Amino acid sequence: MRPLFERFAVLRRAIAFTSLAWRYDGKILAALGSHQQTTVHGFEPLRVVIFASGYPAGLALFGYEGNWPVFFAWLILLPCAKWAYLRYFPSISKFRGYGNLDDTLPRSVEKARAEVTFYSLLGCPFCPIVAQRLEALQREMDFALTKVDLTLKPQLAASKGIKSVPVVETGKGRLVGNATTEQLAQLIAGAQASVPVHAGYRA
């Protein structure tokens, strides 16, 4: 059986690999030629793939080696860290270069008879933020809102040409990324152009 320090050395290497993959997955996407609709401030589905494959792979490796302290640490701490990141993302976003995510409703909005579809992905830190903005707007504008989770629907994402989330779609108009409430209101009211718009962030 391996000494304890060797076991934790394996864990450090696994964490380092996961961190590097998370950091450079945008470059991987670009190299694959699939970065066409991704915004700088959108969430790329490849990150979900990395986490979903790396997590069970780590459990399998540490379980096979009988490295139970690291196995249970990986089992418990990694999901907890992911949850904490998503939970406190609005507070730490400015330290990660995304700027301040504070947003307010426009001073005046009109009712809109529109069908709005919101596409999200498990693990996307921006999706809950945009979803909350949409829900606040819905109370004011009274539009129909449908939420679609693409986590288990890769074929739907491919058919829609979605390579980054969140996505807000109504008619022929689309917003990709961290859309502000004002941008969403304009889209729903029909003021936006009917081509995909990359929302980005506002500091």
For 73-82, the pLDDT digits (tens) are 888 988 888 8
Do you find a cis peptide bond into 166, omega within 30 degrees of 0? yes
Q: Is residue 104 part of a domain?
A: no
Nearest Cα residue to 199 out of 164, 171, 172: 164
How far apart CA 194 and CA 44 sit, in angstroms, is: 23
What are residue 116's DSSP bridge partners? Answer: 145
Q: For residue 19, is it within any domain? A: yes
Looking at residue 102, what is its pLDDT? 79
Q: Are residues 15 and 72 in the same domain?
A: yes
- Residue 11's Cβ-side half-sphere holds a number of Cα atoms within 13 Å equal to 20
Per DSSP, what are the bridge partners of residue 102? none
Which has the closest alpha carbon to 107: 193, 181, 160? 181
Q: Output the average pLDDT for the chain.
A: 75
On whether residue 110 sits in a domain, the answer given is no
Whether residue 145 is found in the same domain as residue 192: yes
Structural domain boundaries enclosing 176: 115-198
Q: Cα angle vertex 24, ends 133, 77, to 5°? A: 70
Indicate whether 80 and 125 sit together in one domain. no
Query: Is 60 in the same domain as 129?
Result: no
- Confidence at residue 96, expressed as pLDDT on a 0 to 100 scale: 74
User: Do both 27 and 92 map to the same domain?
Assistant: yes
Long-range CB pairs of 71-78, under 8 A, 24+ apart, other chains included: 73/11, 74/11, 74/14
Helices (H), the chain: 4-32, 45-64, 68-87, 89-92, 127-141, 154-160, 181-188
Whether 37 shows a pLDDT value over 60: the answer reads no
Q: How far apart are the first and last CA of the chain?
A: 52
Answer yes or no: is 106 within a domain: no
pLDDT for residue 13 = 58
Of 64-68, 85-89, 183-187, the range with the highest mean pLDDT is 183-187
Number of independent structural domains in the chain: 2
| 82 plus 38 within the same structural domain | yes
Together in a domain, 91 and 123: no
pLDDT tens readout for residues 119-175: 999 888 899 999 999 999 999 999 999 999 998 898 999 899 998 899 999 988 999
Can you give the CATH number for the domain in which 128 is found? 3.40.30.10
